[in-house]
Amino acid sequence: MPTIAENIAAVRARIETAAGRAGRSAADVQLIAVSKTHPPEVVREAVAEGLTVFGESRIQEAKAKIPELPGKLKWHFIGHLQTNKAREAVELFHMVQSVDSVRLARELDQCAGRASRTLAVLLECNVSGESTKFGFKPDEVMAALAELNSLRRLEIQGLMTMAPFFEDPQDARPVFRALRELRDRLQQQHGIPLPELSMGMTNDFEAAIEEGATMVRIGTAIFRPTS
């Protein structure tokens, strides 16, 4: 079985190839290593290969793990966040990628204010229409963006989505395209820069990059069993 170092090298090569097909630079695509469920010693192997940005989706797990790892790392919260966990998320994470309601945004803003910091966030959008997915519907985020942008302690950097799982990754392409087009409409309508598009995971990140992803969230392809 390949090592984590070999897995990372393979993922980087795939990112570079996909970016090249789209006429983009691989440097414009940030690799978020999804480290949820993996212990600190495994994360350290990824750090040794130069990875610096990691994604977690459970507050309790992150509280135990983050202090055990180098302070230079950046941590993104990528799971569903309950409002009663907002204070801890502000304390632990550099970015919350999964802001899926105005209520959660307001709570994060208040917690960031009390912590005297600004929190980078992405707005999670349900562009696939799946009832099991969290996130703003396109019309909801259109209506809410002005209020969200007025929250002084939140820095809205872009959008995030989770595509349905497809056996053929190309079937996810319309979902990624829809998020990019939604971002473009939001920028045009509100005059707010939204440079980041977090979309694509192990099964489909190449299609996401070709459709404009600036962040890809990769777990299995990096941390799959190595023995």
CA distance 59 to 205: 25
**CATH number, residue 116:** 3.20.20.10
DSSP run (H or E) holding 128: none
Identity of the residue numbered 137: K
Question: Residue ranges of the chain with pLDDT lower than 70?
Answer: 225-227
For the chain, the first-to-last Cα distance in angstroms comes to: 6
CA distance 154 to 157: 9
Nearest to 163 by CA among 153, 151, 154, 172: 172
CA-derived radius of gyration, the chain:
17
CA distance 179 to 202: 18
pLDDT at 226: 45
pLDDT at 171: 95
For 11, the domain range is: 4-223
| pLDDT 10s digits, 12-21 | 999 999 999 9
Nearest to 60 by CA among 90, 97, 32, 85: 85
CA distance 119 to 96: 8
pLDDT at 1: 83
pLDDT at 77: 98
DSSP characters for 73-117? -EEEE-S---GGGHHHHHHH-SEEEEE-SHHHHHHHHHHHHHTT-
pLDDT at 225: 62
Nearest to 96 by CA among 137, 148, 173: 148
CB atoms < 10 A from the CB of 41, how many? Answer: 9
How many domains does the chain fold into? 1
pTM: 0.96
